[in-house]
């Protein structure tokens, strides 16, 4: 009966989509991918990944160890499966992966070469080549994604050999912003997030460390800030935590860009030092409205101390100074502030913000860091220097103004992970917001100096996210952002992306990331990754 | 400085809201609650909960054991905390809880008495009284929620003594629907869901077992259905699984109402038996469109076998027969079907659906079960008998028509957990959809026989949910439905509910349910509940 044949085909297609049955299902899509028609066997116990002979990079050594874990989530000896009736026929067995690297420097800064090439011929040896350690990491991630698990043969294999990949990112700034002030995120959650970011080839963790609601960072210069401003002693990062996170990120090719969001959103600072912040009756109902007191010299002493501590841990050339949603009216409301303004010849609160930014720039530049600010500082005409980078969060239109003015820009506006309808499109299913991210190109509609657009950032504001539900809010949705920022602009078709993303989210779950499904399917999880709420 | 005092008060208020600092923060809110001003100490190691002297109920024994686990998630000997500078002063220590029950029958059916009273005087003994085992369970849950953890004293206490509670549900049907066809949910996930339901005083698990995408239930009469129709042998429930789930639910006062959704959404049945389903070229693109073949007598043999198996496991008086979205046009498209209609004097496909429902009713009633159908069967005029219950999922207006026609109804329409904007309201944060559920009263706008409204059901359609992200999609959002169905209609103010829900979701997370936050806060998790993705 025709019915059954067609239905079986339909259903099996649906079933098959649950498994990464095809080695071309790489996320984010590489720039070029050439494939053949042969299948290779991969034995998880004998595959030998050889570090570059001219390198002693610990980061590469560590990445090779992780490669094995990530590529082989199933241990056949404890996994129960069905035997395929007709065994697969393999053209060869992949036994060896050789790696070469031109420069094994372990310094990671913005704009570093992240390119790599990967060749998997019909034979026993694959070849990974990169100019830098960071290209090697990306190449190993790609290689792990072309290795497929066969639940019927209880083994691993590769399709489409010979495979040849040449890859490099479209944008050099591919960030994910986390917010540890609205909710504390455990160090383990941040580690897990860095793992997931590496799987997505994100290269920048933008860490919005403090905000109005809490000050969770305990720093040597002013430990009182966390003592008074954190939710709990158990909800605090100390200097060792920051160092561990920096190291963990570095080993995954991820820069950590710390943010201290000033002069707005500063209420938590005021818990330790009353005179750091300004009181304004009209705005008190929302704790986010409380700004710094920019007229108090102690404010700048505290900022200098914090900057000194934080830059000692994070070597990144950039420092994010926030600057969003400064409630200037709160300053107008306070007579101490307005009196100071009069005596210093500052006639508007906008100009007072400019004064603050100049002082702040002095501190930041004394540590040889480049400032990043949220878009309002630009819109208020208060960007202190031409090298300051402007992050656009409210509307893509502002990005045009930013580059028109000759500033470098980062786009966050269409990539807000706390929104259900990021670009005004309403989806029945909430997970489908990945499509909105995916179809938002940073350069769409822009003219002129588009070379000033460094890239983009997904932002996970944490009012309704903590360690419990972080994974399932962020993944696989942020994967839409990851591919938009890495892959070619032309790789933007949602329908084509779906089967790859179905496979990729299953890989994420198999590796212990709490990424839920985007479509009906079955994603087998290895027993050791069936944690309580994964069971 | 006035600034700091006010800010400290603001911030500490925000912090305090993270903890259940007040024994009145019970979810769902009890019908009556009287409180005093005294504090009681509770020692987790010496508190003695005494079963009813006239009862040998295993269910009560088991609930008492769970009560200890749920009430005392922190083990002070391994938990690191701060000491309160000025220790609390307690009026008494609660040492004993006595329980009395009028009837300790362990039969659970719709409409059973679930009421209880709980008295916690300023003294050493609390008293819980109920008419049934099920009232005892609810009373123990309430008692566990009035016991508070003090992270500064590393101990437990109760505020507001003497407390006096008299409680009973507003609606007798308080359901949560799970869908195990779009994604398989592990048995452990279903257990965890039953736990969370009991914490919310839900009393009905509506189990949408099969659908177009998969047939995960392996039954003795027709094991071929799961063999061909499940995603994988690992993604299948066998009879023992069903029995275990029934038992687990019973022990938590939860009825299991199985659903086999027919005659639409039936493609997965056709994988084993081609002639069970009908092919229609026009509709094949969506697998959900494929219906049963109602003209084939084998269809009814299969249904009779399935019903026989399933009713042998689930003793509930109700059986849900689905009936939503039957694509009648698929029948018109098929000449085998239309020829049969001609020869049997059935002139419309709507009438053919009526024929199917009559046959189905014969099978269901032979097992002494009452049918439940989705609203389309009612709208098509095909409800077989007056005692059939109609579940309304598309619009509350239909519920008025249902009761006008003298049928009993269950409301699901405003409680769809897969929707981001359940009642057309768009929230910036997705979790806030709990508010839409919360403010949707089943009786709003209804006139006439409102006594025919049995209650409501939250529905977690599983296209984008599996065991990985189930908890974080359902909780704490479904808590909004739970309180709407249990508590008084007047308890419907979102602002008042927020601090209680903040506390309650933290309790859920502390008990191992993956419920994320609804507002900035800090929810301490006991180390043993810090699973990998909770860490």
Q: Are A353 and A373 in contact (CB under 8 A)?
A: no
Domain identity same for A260 and A162: no
Please identify, among A387, A416, A433, the residue that sits at the C-terminal boundary of a domain. Answer: A387
Q: What confidence tens digit (pLDDT) does each residue in B117-154 have? A: 999 999 999 999 999 999 999 999 999 999 998 887 78
Domain assignment present for residue A291? The answer is yes
Of A11-25, B15-29, B303-317, B351-365, minimum mean pLDDT range: A11-25
| Residue A90 burial class via C-beta count within 10 angstroms: exposed 0-12, middle 13-18, buried 19 and up | middle
Please give the residue of chain B at the shortest CA–CA distance from A185: B535
Report d(CA A253, CA B79) in Å as an integer.
36
Q: What percent of chain A has pLDDT over 90?
A: 84
Owner of token pair 């009993």: B408
The predicted model gives B415-424 an average pLDDT of 83
B463/A519 touch (CB, cutoff 8 Å), yes or no:
yes
- Assess whether pLDDT exceeds 90 at residue A77: no
Domain boundary among A168, A186, A202: A168
Tokens 């919360």 sit at which residue?
A: B438
State the average pLDDT over residues A276-291. 91
The contacts of residue A36 (CB under 8 Å, 6+ apart) are A122, A160, A161, A162, A163
B475 in the same domain as B447: yes
Does a cis peptide bond (omega within 30 degrees of 0) precede residue A28?
Answer: yes
Retrieve residue B240's tokens: 């023992």
Q: Provide the residue range defining the domain that includes B382.
A: 184-488
Q: How far apart are CA B83 and CA A57, in angstroms?
A: 47
Q: What is the pLDDT of residue B18?
A: 46
Nearest CA distance, A177 vs chain B (angstrom): 17
B108 lies in the same domain as B250:
no
* ipTM rounded to 2 decimals: 0.93
Which tokens go with B468?
């990985």
- Give whole-number Cα distances, A61 to A56, A129, A391, B438, in Å: 8, 15, 35, 53
For residue B512, being part of any structural domain is answered with no
A122-173: pLDDT as tens digits: 999 999 999 999 999 999 999 999 999 888 778 899 999 999 999 999 999 9
Residue with tokens 């069970």: B276
- Domain match, B164 and B215 both: no
Considering the domain architecture, whether residues A290 and A164 belong to the same structural domain is answered as no
C-alpha separations of B452 from B146, B403, B410, B490 in Å: 34, 6, 9, 20
Mutate to test the interface with A, among B293, B468, B526 (most CBs of A within 10 A): B468
Nearest chain A Cα distance for residue B342, angstroms: 22
**CA distance linking residue A469 with residue B533, whole number of Å:** 8
**Cα A426-B463-B332 angle, rounded to 5 deg:** 95
Q: Is residue A263 domain-shared with residue A123, that is, in the same domain?
A: no
Q: Please, where are the H alpha helices in A231-334?
A: 239-250, 267-270, 297-313, 328-332
What is the rounded CA–CA span in Å between residue A295 and residue A377? 18
The pLDDT assigned to B35 comes to 96
C-alpha to C-alpha distance for A467 and A186, rounded to whole angstroms:
6
CB contact under 8 Å between A418 and B428, yes or no, is: yes
- Among the partner-chain residues A275, A470, A515, the one whose CB lies closest to the CB of B1 is A275
What is the nearest CA distance from A513 to chain B, expressed in angstroms?
8
Structure tokens at A361: 């720039």
On whether residue B527 sits in a domain, the answer given is no
| B191 & B227 share domain | yes
pLDDT average, residue stretch B85-112: 94
CATH of the domain at B151: 3.30.379.10
Task: Supply the pTM of this predicted model.
Answer: 0.95
Least confident of A359-373, A506-520, B403-417, B426-440: B426-440
Looking at beta carbons, which residues of chain B come within 8 Å of A513? 533
Burial of A208 (0-12, 13-18, 19+ CB in 10 A): buried
Q: How far apart are the first and last CA of chain A?
A: 39
- Bridging pattern class, strands B125-132 and B116-120: antiparallel
Q: Quick one: pLDDT band at residue B213, thresholds 50, 70, 90? A: very high
Nearest to A426 by CA among A436, A412, A441, A416: A436
Residue A203 in domain = no
pLDDT band at B16 (very low <50, low <70, confident <90, very high): very low
Closest in A181, A278, A420 to B430, CB measured: A420
Residues of B in contact with A16 (CB under 8 A): none
**pLDDT tens-digit profile of B277-291?**
998 888 888 999 999
**Which contacts qualify for B279-284: CB closer than 8 Å, 24 or more apart?**
B279/A1, B279/A2, B279/A3, B279/A6, B279/A7, B279/B334, B280/B327, B280/B329, B280/B330, B280/B331, B280/B333, B280/B334, B281/B333, B282/B329, B282/B330, B282/B333, B283/B327, B283/B329, B283/B330, B283/B333, B284/A6, B284/A10
* Nearest residue on chain A to B521, alpha-carbon basis: A183
C-alpha distances in angstroms, B83 versus A355, B21, B76, B94, B196? 44, 16, 12, 22, 32
Angstrom distance (rounded) from CA B295 to CA B48: 62
- Specify if A422 maps to a domain: no
With an 8 Å Cβ cutoff, are B429 and A421 in contact?
no
Phi, psi of B167 (to 5 degrees): -145, 150
* Residues of chain A neighbouring B8 (CB-CB closer than 8 A): 271
- The CA distances from residue A191 to A187, A245, A246, B22, B535, in Å, are 6, 7, 10, 35, 10
The answer for residues whose C-beta is within 8 angstroms of residue B86's C-beta and 6 or more apart is: none
**Helix, strand and coil percent figures for chain B, each rounded to 5:** 40, 20, 45
At a CB cut-off of 8 Å and minimum separation 6, what does B327 contact? B264, B280, B283, B289, B290, B291
Quick one: pLDDT at residue B529?
56
Half-sphere exposure of B8 (CA within 13 A, CB side): 12
Q: What is the tally of structural domains in chain B?
A: 2
Q: Could you tell me if B130 and B194 lie in one domain?
A: no
| pLDDT tens per residue, range B221-244 | 999 999 999 998 889 999 999 999
CB A388, CB A370: distance < 8 Å: yes
**Residue numbers in A near B82 (CB within 8 A):** 233
Domain assignment present for A195: no
Q: What is the CATH number of the domain that holds B237?
A: 3.20.20.80
The first and second tokens of residue A164, run together, are 């040849």
| Domain shared by B277 and B408, yes or no | yes
- Does A516 fall in a domain? no
Q: Give the separation between CA A14 and CA B282, rounded to whole angstroms.
A: 19
The reply to whether B299 and B341 lie within a common domain is yes
Cα B495 from chain centroid (whole Å): 24
- How far off is chain A from B526, nearest CA to CA, in Å? 11
Active-site amino acid positions of B: 325
Answer yes or no: do B183 and A517 touch at CB < 8 A: yes
| In contact, A92 and A40? CB cutoff 8 Å | yes
Task: Indicate the residue of A8, A183, A426 with minimum beta-carbon distance to B520.
Answer: A183
Q: Tell me the C-alpha distance between A245 and A236, whole Å.
A: 14
Of A152, A325, A353, A483, the active-site residue reads A325
Strands B148-150 and B318-320, by their bridges, are: unpaired
Name A335's Cβ contacts closer than 8 Å, sequence gap at least 6: none
Considering the domain architecture, whether residues A265 and A164 belong to the same structural domain is answered as no
Please report whether residue B499 resides in a domain. no
| Predicted pLDDT at A302 | 98
Residue numbers in A near B463 (CB within 8 A): 429, 517, 519-520
Average pLDDT over residues A525-533: 61
- Label residue B419 by pLDDT band (50, 70, 90): confident
* Chain B residue with minimum CA distance to A276: B4
Reported as a single tens digit per residue, the pLDDT across A180-189 is 999 999 999 9
The two structure tokens encoding residue A412? 């966050």
Residue contact A524–B274, C-beta within 8 A: no
In sequence order, the β-bridge partners of residue A100 are A129
| HEC readout, A124-137 | CEEEEEEEEHHHHH
DSSP B413-458: GGGBTT-SSTTS---SSGGGHHHHHHT--TTTT--S-GGGEEEEEE
**Residues A158 and A147 sit within 8 Å (Cβ to Cβ):** yes
Q: What percent of chain B has pLDDT over 90?
A: 84
* Residue of chain A whose alpha carbon sits nearest to that of B279: A3
Q: What is the mean pLDDT of residues A398-418?
A: 97
Last residue of a domain, one of B168, B200, B226: B168
Q: B535 to each of A69, A87, A184, A276, B473, how far by Cα in Å? A: 20, 42, 11, 33, 19
DSSP labels, B299-368:
HHHHHHHHHHHHHHH---SEEE----S--HHHHHT-HHHHHHHHHTT--SHHHHHHHHHHHHHHHHHHTT
Q: Are B237 and B190 in contact (CB under 8 A)?
A: no
Quote the mean pLDDT of chain B.
Answer: 92
List CB contacts (< 8 A) between B523 and chain A. 466, 468
Distance from CA of B270 to the nearest CA of A (A): 7
* A419 contacts B522? CB cut-off 8 A: no
The pLDDT-based confidence of B88 (bands split at 50, 70, 90) is: confident
Beta strand extents in A122-225 (DSSP E only): 125-132, 148-150, 155-161, 163-167, 173-179, 204-210
Residues A419 and A461 sit within 8 Å (Cβ to Cβ)? no
For residue range A190-220, list pLDDT tens digits in order: 999 999 999 999 999 999 999 999 999 999 9
Residue B478 clears pLDDT 70, i.e. is over it: yes
Are residues B73 and B190 part of one domain? no
β-pairing verdict for B155-161 and B163-167: unpaired
């Amino acid at each position: 009966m025709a019915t059954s044949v067609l239905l079986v085909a339909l259903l099996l297609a649906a079933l098959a989509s649950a498994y990464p049955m095809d080695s071309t299902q790489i996320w984010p899509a590489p720039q070029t991918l050439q494939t053949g028609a042969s299948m290779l066997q991969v034995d998880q116990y004998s595959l030998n990944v050889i570090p570059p002979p001219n390198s002693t990079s610990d980061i590469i050594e560590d990445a090779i160890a992780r490669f094995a874990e990530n590529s082989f989530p199933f241990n056949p000896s404890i996994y129960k499966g069905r035997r395929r009736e007709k065994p697969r026929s393999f053209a060869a067995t992949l036994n060896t992966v050789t790696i070469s690297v031109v420069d094994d420097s372990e310094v990671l800064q913005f704009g570093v070469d992240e390119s790599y090439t990967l060749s998997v011929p019909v034979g026993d040896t694959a070849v990974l080549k990169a100019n830098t350690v960071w290209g090697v990491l990306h190449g190993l991630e790609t290689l792990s994604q072309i290795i497929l698990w066969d639940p019927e043969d209880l083994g691993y294999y590769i399709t489409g050999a010979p495979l040849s990949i040449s890859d490099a990112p479209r944008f050099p700034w591919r960030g994910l912003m986390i917010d540890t002030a609205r909710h504390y995120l455990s160090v383990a959650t941040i580690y897990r997030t860095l793992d997931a970011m590496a799987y997505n080839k994100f290269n920048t963790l933008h860490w919005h460390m403090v905000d109005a609601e809490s000050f969770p960072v305990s720093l040597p210069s002013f430990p009182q800030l966390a003592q008074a401003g954190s939710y709990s002693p158990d909800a605090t990062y100390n200097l060792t935590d920051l160092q561990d996170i920096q190291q963990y990120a570095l080993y995954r090719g991820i820069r950590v860009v710390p943010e201290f969001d000033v002069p707005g959103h500063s209420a938590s600072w005021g818990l330790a030092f009353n005179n750091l912040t300004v009181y304004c009756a009209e705005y008190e109902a929302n704790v986010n409205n409380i700004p710094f007191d920019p007229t108090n010299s102690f404010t700048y002493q505290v900022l200098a101390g914090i900057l000194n501590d934080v830059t000692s841990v994070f070597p990144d050339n950039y420092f994010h100074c926030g600057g969003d949603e400064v409630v200037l009216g709160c300053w107008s409301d306070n007579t101490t502030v307005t009196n100071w303004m009069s005596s210093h010849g500052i006639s508007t609160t906008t100009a007072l913000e400019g004064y603050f930014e100049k002082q702040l720039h002095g501190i930041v530049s004394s540590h040889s860091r480049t400032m990043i600010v949220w878009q309002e500082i630009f819109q208020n005409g208060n960007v202190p220097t031409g090298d300051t980078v402007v992050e656009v969060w409210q509307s893509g239109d502002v990005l045009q103004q930013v580059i028109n003015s000759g500033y470098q820009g980062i786009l966050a506006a269409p990539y807000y992970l706390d929104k259900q309808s990021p670009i005004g499109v309403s989806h029945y299913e909430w997970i489908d917001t990945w499509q909105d991210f995916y179809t938002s190109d940073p350069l769409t509609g822009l003219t002129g100096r588009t070379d000033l657009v460094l890239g983009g950032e997904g932002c996970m504001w944490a009012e309704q996210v903590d360690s419990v539900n972080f994974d399932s809010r962020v993944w696989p949705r942020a994967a839409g952002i990851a591919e938009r920022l890495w892959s070619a602009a032309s790789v933007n078709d949602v329908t084509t992306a779906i089967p790859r993303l179905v496979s990729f989210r299953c890989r994420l779950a198999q590796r212990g990331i709490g990424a839920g499904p985007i479509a009906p399917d079955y994603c087998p999880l290895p027993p050791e990754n069936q944690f309580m709420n994964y069971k």
